[in-house]
Structure 1
């Protein structure tokens, strides 16, 4: 079953309707399906009414409980993956206003406590200087003063001691010349200063490190419930536990390769000096 990216995240009700239809067709009551699926009857009811977004595991358990045919299992499983994946295309985000995305991110940050950022090609807004933030939006037409202000405001979350942050940056991300050399040196110095926050770990992966597998995307994991993946044309939001777990496992590989603490500060200082010539 094939879906266009724009359908991602809009399949939840369709999935609920399909599961309810298949359950009724099987002749089983909601209570019987719940017992066979090892979940509560209320959860099955909420899934069928579209009030709860089921994971792929939930869907597989229900499909086994009703003895769904193999062809329908493949179709419904594909639909479940789409329901657990949102696609936010860059053009739509820009039309709505980039500051609106900042409010969404602030909401995620408010409701999460453990953050993992893998930064492949540039520095994220939470770690950025005002000049770096403005430069990161420079290729997009329009006035982005509200978005810049909201990005800077969001940085306050780094000082919330109840939250834990781990940032891993490649050398390319740190040294990419998005701003002039003197401004980049200031940006690198900011990274160094943030390594002293007690609730924040910032690691760097030097270019000479052997990395397997080769990283393909920047991504963020919020607790163990949501992973977001950035590509040039938009952002994927993944909620299925297996997708999130896969990104946590990938992050752990990069964490083993990264330099932290004094080793990271020494490398950052070297790169800063190189910027200043």
Structure 2
């Protein structure tokens, strides 16, 4: 968890404590507030100390229980401020995977220069339907989220229209293990590799492959997207991070440029993809 995020969460906790101690009908103890809300005492403590992230419902109930319902708007704004950077999967996937795909579609549609690095799977804008279906199904299983996989697949396929409408340029780097990872069936992966081979040479996409044998100045790390010079999106198991501060964007651009030094393009990229394709059917 980022330091900025944690500091913001602690600041929200201090504000919650202030509301409890300055309730119009007299200061509330943590025990009394917990009893009113029907919560365990530990939950009050965790929220006030910034050890747990409140939900909007938590904030609304807290403000009402402290006799300050009008404070909810302020509390919600504080929460939205730091959640705009750290978007937990638990919260994002409450309504399923389709809304998440729509958010990425909008972000890419509003960009003209896009850089991507991926070390785990093929980026969504280049996925086949079967590959996307396999990845999204496993994600839904992992996060125990609503199973709207087919709607999410359709949204991801809609994103690919951006490759053909012009007005933007994709610079995409994939690590070779992405080409060999069986996150789907062998037949689906074979079709996905054929798709990648067909992308090479498109005027809207520059696709580079970083071979396993390449010398690398930085470890592969996690995947990320950079939209123009205004936003970075990266993800970990529990959340996505949408970063818009200049220092973070500059760091990710330097990271991408460093990774690019290890990439191959054109015919050499074809050779790496074809080798992975042959390995699926060695005979």
Q: Give 1:130's aligned residue.
A: 129
Contact 2:93–2:100 (Cα < 8 Å) also in 1: no
1:7: Cα distance to partner? 4.7
In the alignment, the residues of structure 1 paired with residue 206 and residue 266 of structure 2 have an alpha-carbon distance, to the nearest angstrom, of 8
In structure 2, the residue matched to 1:200 is: 205
- 1:244 correspondence with 2:249: yes
Deviation of 1:124 after TM superposition, in Å, equals 1.5
Deviation at 1:4, TM superposition (A): 5.0
Rounded to whole Å, the distance in 2 between the matches of 1:5 and 1:112 is: 30
Query: Gapped runs of 5+ residues in structure 1?
Result: 15-78
Superposition TM-score, scaled by structure 2 size: 0.68
Deviation sequence 1:209-268 (CA, Å, 0-9, x none): 121221221100000110111111111111001110110000001111101111101211
Contact 2:176 2:272 in 1 (8 A): no
Ranges of 4+ aligned residues in structure 1 off by more than 6 Å: none
Alpha-carbon deviation of 1:160?
2.4
Residue 172 of structure 1, CA deviation: 1.1
1:106 aligned onto 2:105: yes
Deviations 1:84-133 (A, max 9, x none): 96111111121122111111111111211000010011112111111100
**Cα root mean square deviation, aligned:** 2.5
How many residues matched?
208
2:132 and 2:153 in contact (8 A); partners too: yes
With normalisation by structure 1, the TM-score equals: 0.70
1:103 aligned counterpart, secondary structure: helix
1:148 paired to 2:185? no
Q: Does 1:214 align with 2:219?
A: yes
Report which stretch shifted further, 164-173 or 209-218: 209-218
Cross-structure match for 1:86: 85
